[in-house]
Structure 1
Amino acid sequence: MSTLEKKALEYHKAGSPGKIATAVTKSVASQDDLALAYSPGVAVPCVEIQRDPELAYDYTAKGNLVAVITNGTAVLGLGNIGALAGKPVMEGKVVLFKKFAGIDAFDIEIDETDPDKLVDIIAALHPTFGGINLEDIKAPECFYIERKLRERLSIPVFHDDQHGTAIVVGAGMLNAVELTGRDIADVKIVCSGAGAAAIACLELLVDIGARRENIFVCDSKGVLSTARELTEEKRAWAQDTQATTLSQVIEGADVFLGLSGPGLLSQADVQKMKASPIVFTLANPDPELRPELVREVAPDAVIATGRSDYPNQINNALCFPYLFRAALDSHASTINQEMKRACVTALAGLARADARFGKDYVVPGLLDERLLSEVTPKIAAAAARSGVARKPVDPVAYSARLAALAQDLL
């Protein structure tokens, strides 16, 4: 067992096992307090909420509470390890919600792999929460589960493995394209990986200006082409091409986007790309090709990974706390494309406004205090503009309140 593995086990076991606990937010120091916290006083808000369900946001924790839900079928790079074994990851997600946005969250591990049953279980739980974060559910079921829940529920449902990755990739890509003097509409993109995260990234890149006809996707069997039998999700990205391998299709590419596995990109592949290539090797913990090996053959490349020990870490924690903070505070019924796009442009702008902006700084760092106060209001404004916000938010006062919260949290 490595030193890191030993430290990780000690960290999770020390003191109170795990990483989270609940806290009481009201005084319970007297008999009178107890009479208000529970019977008989607690009946009064119950009656008010029955009369007007929106009052749950005033009288309960619903408005600051997110469910982090998994069935353990696609946990990190560990695969289908089951619901219980995925619990440390879900607790970790709860920690990030609290640390970066002051959001309370419960982790819920559901021992169910049937998509329809899982949808029914999650839907039945929804009155407790202001939002639902789906996590580590395997493809293609994750697409169906998220879609069905979004159709049924009037609170935000967000599969972070798809959309969180896509948003941060989109922000980094906008800046990488600008730094290398390209137009996103003209770049040739080669993607290694055709799972949930990859497909969500490609859809968002198209949304911010990339052209579908310039995007080539490879899965474990090679290039997605019209000659192959493919699933519905993959068929949408099939190209009429004679290329069958990554090494063939990467010739003349501007961008490599890796959401697959270690060692799937070679230095020879990078050399086939255009000058100043954009290389996002996001497989974790071991990327498709290590940055130092990319740099050996392409010194002018813009490189991003999913790791914290290299520049330009593409980390979902740059977006999901702020998306949910904005959605909760505006009582948004969903997290829609306009809100995701606002998050992309806000993150990209935050990096550009930093003196460190350059090839080694195309996305902000995780501990940047500006994230909460500058990204979140832009998302809330997008929710209002697009008609999904049910509560108005004053942008100036909101930004000031979030800046104060960031000081307390960080």
Structure 2
Amino acid sequence: LLEVRDEVLEMHQGGKIAIRSRYDISSISTLRRVYTPGVAEVSLKIRDNPALARRYTSIRHLVAIVTDGTAVLGLGDIGPLAAMPVMEGKASLLETLTGLSGMPILLDTKDPDAIVETVVHMAPTFAAIQLEDISAPRCFAIEERIQARVDIPVMHDDQHGTACVVTATLLNAAKATGSDLGRCRIGVIGLGAAGLALAKMLMFRFKNPVLGADIAADALERLKNAGGIPSDLKAIMAGCEVVIATTGVPGLIKKEMVRKGQIILALSNPNPEIEPEAALAAGAAFAADGKSVNNVLGFPGIFRGAVDANVPRITREMLTAAAEAIAAFAPPGEIVPNPLDKALHKSVARAVARVALEQGLNRDDLTGYFD
């Protein structure tokens, strides 16, 4: 373990990302083209037609990765500086898998108003905004308020990226077990950022109310307002064919609670609500934990498609299409695809862009994009 830790620390020395020039500026003539006086011509064109910024600058492939460090992985509120390695990791994945340039933005404030104002005012720099590791319930209003004021897509990955990937996993789990999700009772235990977004996506996709459990009354109220049914752990385990847990409480689900034939996704990291092996031994038809359900399956392609189509927002239909594209890409006998397969992310991007085209939300021409 010490050796692995040392390797990780070694890899992080100096950071994992960098901003570099696309051109070798080794001559005065090149200098004059990339900077003054030549750059003035480009600036004047953009002044006269702001849409040209997407053609003549890096804006069209820049994604802001914004965090206040209040809900980082399984580490909790560790602050923005300690969140930087995670944001760099997200940026590395965006670039490696889709060619988008992620720029970490660390916000030294927990005030929702300050976060919203800051992100809104820096939005012209970017083609999209990825919100990361912002705690619930603040994250819900922060995302909504920012999206209402900018004309580029805003997505809180902990909500919607997670919901996409879990939905994809569930689609394939149902296929493997012969379950009809349209007829299954689905319960979500833990209605934080991931749990509530997942419940909403499942209700949108399958048109049935989802049961939800949480220790917070306001979380249950949000579920009810979204069309779900407030419940509790005992009732969900006893009455639902599909159980998804996102509580952060290891060992919450006891083997005695498991019903024969259930699909159980215990997604909390690093330790799940019930180990998959224990759930299967207790009679579950399918069980998985958070180690196999990774957001990297979703967010790179979702943002690539949204940016390529130049949409003003990411819709529920786009997210559902992304989930189905992820599910369809899993190899035979597997529940999820290889997250490092660039063809997967291309497929997800095209699924998102196709829905944008169908909804009339694309502001860039997509001729030839799907070839």
Normalising by the smaller structure, the TM-score range is: over 0.9
Q: Distance in 1 between matches of 2:103 and 2:229?
A: 42
Which residue identity is paired with 2:355?
A
Q: Distance in 1 between matches of 2:233 and 2:253?
A: 8
Let me know the Cα RMSD of the aligned residues: 1.9
Residue in structure 2 matching 1:219, options 172, 194, 214? 214
Give CA-to-partner distance per residue, 1:104-150, whole Å, 9 cap, x none.
11101010111111100011101111110000001111111100111
2:364 is equivalent to residue 391 of structure 1: yes
Residue in structure 1 matching 2:257, options 262, 266, 269? 269
Matched-pair contact (CA < 8 Å) for 1:373–1:399: no
Match of 1:379 in 2: 352
Q: Distance in 2 between matches of 1:331 and 1:216?
A: 36
Match of 1:154 in 2: 151
Match of 2:343 in 1: 370
Q: Distance in 1 between matches of 2:218 and 2:276?
A: 34
Cα offset, 1:35, TM superposition = 0.5
Q: Distance in 2 between matches of 1:152 and 1:79?
A: 29
**Any idea what SS the aligned residue of 1:335 has?**
coil
Q: Distance in 2 between matches of 1:295 and 1:389?
A: 45
Matched-pair contact (CA < 8 Å) for 1:184–1:210: no
Which residue identity is paired with 1:260?
T
TM norm structure 1 = 0.85
Which residue identity is paired with 2:244?
L
Which residue identity is paired with 1:294?
A
**Any idea what SS the aligned residue of 1:304 has?**
strand
2:293 is equivalent to residue 314 of structure 1: yes
Cα offset, 1:376, TM superposition = 1.6
Q: Distance in 2 between matches of 1:254 and 1:121?
A: 44
2:220 is equivalent to residue 247 of structure 1: no
User: What stretches of structure 1 of length at least 5 have no aligned partner?
Assistant: 222-227, 308-312, 401-410
2:266 is equivalent to residue 281 of structure 1: yes
Match of 2:304 in 1: 325
Residue in structure 2 matching 1:338, options 294, 317, 327? 317
Poorly superposed stretches of 4+, deviation over 4 Å: 228-232
Match of 2:277 in 1: 292
Matched-pair contact (CA < 8 Å) for 2:301–2:347: no
Matched-pair contact (CA < 8 Å) for 1:186–1:210: no
User: What stretches of structure 2 of length at least 5 have no aligned partner?
Assistant: none
Which residue identity is paired with 1:218?
A
In the alignment of these two chains, the number of paired residues is 369
Cα offset, 1:240, TM superposition = 6.8
Matched-pair contact (CA < 8 Å) for 1:374–1:399: no
Give CA-to-partner distance per residue, 1:182-208, whole Å, 9 cap, x none.
222221122221101100000000111
Cα offset, 1:97, TM superposition = 0.4
Match of 2:8 in 1: 8
Q: Distance in 2 between matches of 1:229 and 1:134?
A: 22
Go from structure 1 to structure 2 and tell me whether the alpha carbon gap of 1:230 and 1:107 turns closer, same or farther (over 3 Å shift): closer
Q: Distance in 1 between matches of 2:33 and 2:42?
A: 10
Residue pairs, 1:1-80, within 5 angstroms: 2-13=2-13, 17-80=14-77
